[in-house]
Amino acid sequence: MGGAGVVLLLLLAGAGAGVAWRPPKGKCPPSCSCSKDSALCEGSPDLPESFSPTLLSLSLVRTGITQLKAGSFLRVPTLHLLLFTSNSFSVIEDDAFAGLSHLQYLFIEDNDIGSISKNALRGLRSLTHLSLASNNLETLPRFLFRGLETLTHVDLRGNPIQCDCRVLWLLQWMPTVNASVGTGACAGPTALAHMQLRHLDPKTFKCRAIELSWFQTVGEAALGVESFSYQGEPHMVLAQPFAGRCLVLTWDYSLQRFRPEEELSAPSVVSCKPLVLGPSLFVLAARLWGGSQLWARPGPGLRLAPTQALAPRRLLRPNDAELLWLDGQPCFVVADASKAGSTTLLCRDGPGFYPRQSLHAWHRDTDAEALELDGRPHLLLASASQRPVLFHWLGGRFERRTDIPEAEDVYATRHFQAGGDVFLCLTRYIGDSMVMRWDGSMFRLLQRLPSRGAHVFQPLLIARDQLAILGSDFAFSQVLRLEPDKGLLEPLQELGPPALVAPRAFAHITVAGRRFLFAACFKGPTQIYQHHELDLSA
């Protein structure tokens, strides 16, 4: 029995000492000693059911009680002190102390309690002293102390507390109350064993996790996927070369699924790039054969229609298309992988988009990435013939600035920003994919990631998490998350089941308060995953 419990028991039990009183027949069980205002029960086989309704203190020592159920003390609503010691019950259920609105002292010490329900203490609005010392509690449920506004002393010492995410709420709660809290030391995990709970810093706990779980499948293979918002509604567009179309998807609020809204005829399409300008919607359909086209929707309620053939003499084998803004005007850059064609910058001029500049001729470019460095527009081109080349916007045109060192055989590049830095994800089909960071003059190697069979290494900012997804033709696609403390991408999970078959592009969208990840696959259907946030401290 805890020392405080003994003192308070003597004080309250002694209030009736020397007073001649015989409890009415049936009011003091045989296993108990009763005085005017108190009862001490020792060795009783069960929780006594007959007590004086004006009892102020009750002590239960070494009883045969196996559990505390809801409403166990409704017959003694006047209790001010309740003490349990050396009992064998292991569970305290919700509302076990219901009706004890006057209880001030509750001591549950030296028992074998392994769990306590989160609402076990509900209704104890007068409680000032609580002791759960010397039990077998490894954790306490969140909100256990909710509503106990009068607490001044809490004793949790002597329990094998596991100082993992489940204890985070307790660490956050202690500084917010005017109660002295005795917590004792951690029993685990090993790294924190024997450390005093009061010395733990809540900020060091990482108790938020995320999970991407399968949600929906969209039939037909796809090479690209893009998100856009039109008239306040989020949409996705898939480049489906075998189906010969750009497929526009929207959210069906009735079915709570994505459904087709419109499709654009585009045989051998490799990229469908959307652009919204006020009420107008444009989609650039880059095609391997038959010429690339621009589709337009002048306003809501109208359908998309082809309006322009794009640079037919320059775009002979497009492989990628990107949108960028230059001097306040929207432009597309289309990477061309043919020997005779050239990567081309197309900028808006009147009703259409026309060639502004040819770039990187004869280099068979496989990917283009638009980014901003040092406050200026830049363009990064990856090709099959040399290392990625970085261009900067200067004097109304792109000029070569530098290349990316130690980056041979790069198929594609994607960038992201975090903590004021610019990072680059470089995809390599053979060898390791890489993460680089801009140092003010060039990109420097930061991290290598094994990636045999990769065609896409896509960074995505979803909610608060900077993710990067490394797709593979030969293994499960890996989701990585940037750890701010380390500045490195760390493995988070594999995508699947169902497994992705030759993934080529990833994009995310937020709709109806839910976050989704689209995975476009070249040899299988597009898979959609839902992003979930998990609170590990709950």
**Whether the Cβ atoms of residue 122 and residue 98 lie closer than 8 Å to each other:** yes
* More confidently predicted of 9 and 534: 534
How far CA 103 is from CA of 11, 98, 404, 452, in Å, comes to 15, 10, 72, 67
Tell me the β-bridge partners of 330.
325
* Res. 363: pLDDT tops 60: yes
* Res. 99: pLDDT tops 50: yes
pLDDT-derived band at 51 (thresholds 50, 70, 90) equals low
pLDDT at res. 43: 65
pLDDT at res. 425: 98
* More confidently predicted of 130 and 54: 130
pLDDT-derived band at 47 (thresholds 50, 70, 90) equals low
Q: From the CB of residue 278, how many other CB atoms can be counted at a distance below 10 Å?
A: 6
Q: What is the mean pLDDT of residues 136-144?
A: 95
CA dihedral over 301, 306, 307, 310, signed as positive or negative: positive
pLDDT at res. 189: 94
**Whether the Cβ atoms of residue 315 and residue 341 lie closer than 8 Å to each other:** yes
pLDDT-derived band at 49 (thresholds 50, 70, 90) equals low
Q: For the ranges 28-42, 203-217, 433-447, 521-535, which has the lowest average pLDDT?
A: 28-42
Q: What is the mean pLDDT of residues 180-202?
A: 94
Q: What is the mean pLDDT of residues 127-138?
A: 97
pLDDT at res. 385: 79
Q: Name the pTM for this structure.
A: 0.81
d(CA 241, CA 222): 7
* Res. 37: pLDDT tops 70: yes
pLDDT at res. 44: 60
Q: What is the mean pLDDT of residues 289-316?
A: 95
- DSSP SS3 for 510: strand
Q: How open is the CA angle 468-471-472, to the nearest 5 degrees?
A: 150
pLDDT at res. 63: 85
- Strands 514-521 and 503-511 come out as antiparallel
pLDDT-derived band at 15 (thresholds 50, 70, 90) equals very low
Q: What is the mean pLDDT of residues 126-135?
A: 97
Show Cβ contacts of residue 159 under 8 Å, excluding neighbours closer than 6 positions: 132, 133, 134, 135, 136, 137, 138, 184, 187
C-alpha 514: how far from its chain's center?
12
pLDDT-derived band at 48 (thresholds 50, 70, 90) equals low
d(CA 103, CA 126): 6
- DSSP SS3 for 176: helix
pLDDT at res. 341: 87
d(CA 71, CA 262): 62
Tell me the β-bridge partners of 116.
92
Q: For the ranges 36-50, 199-213, 287-301, which has the lowest average pLDDT?
A: 36-50
C-alpha 483: how far from its chain's center?
13
**Could you read off the pLDDT of 241-274 as tens digits, one per residue?**
999 999 999 999 999 999 999 999 999 999 999 9
**Could you read off the pLDDT of 456-492 as tens digits, one per residue?**
999 999 999 999 999 999 999 999 999 988 999 999 9
Q: What is the mean pLDDT of residues 401-417?
A: 94
- Average pLDDT of the chain is 90
What phi and psi values does residue 110 have, to the nearest 5 degrees? Answer: 55, 40
d(CA 367, CA 384): 10
* Res. 12: pLDDT tops 70: no
Residue with tokens 């290598």: 448
Q: Which of 91, 128, 76, 84 is nearest to 109 (CA)?
A: 84
Full set of structural domains in the chain with CATH = 32-205 (3.80.10.10)
Name the residue type at position 435.
Answer: V
DSSP for 99-114, please give it: T-TT--EEEEESS---
d(CA 69, CA 47): 10
Q: Which of 523, 413, 411 is nearest to 474 (CA)?
A: 523
Q: What is the mean pLDDT of residues 120-130?
A: 97
d(CA 373, CA 364): 25
Show Cβ contacts of residue 407 under 8 Å, excluding neighbours closer than 6 positions: 387, 388, 426, 434, 436
Q: What is the mean pLDDT of residues 114-143?
A: 96
Write the Ramachandran bin of 301: left for phi over 0, alpha for psi from -120 to 50, otherwise beta: left
> How many residues can be counted in the chain?
538
**Could you read off the pLDDT of 365-391 as tens digits, one per residue?**
999 999 999 999 999 999 977 899 999
Q: Where are the beta strands (DSSP E) in 151-256?
A: 153-155, 180-182, 208-218, 224-230, 233-240, 245-252
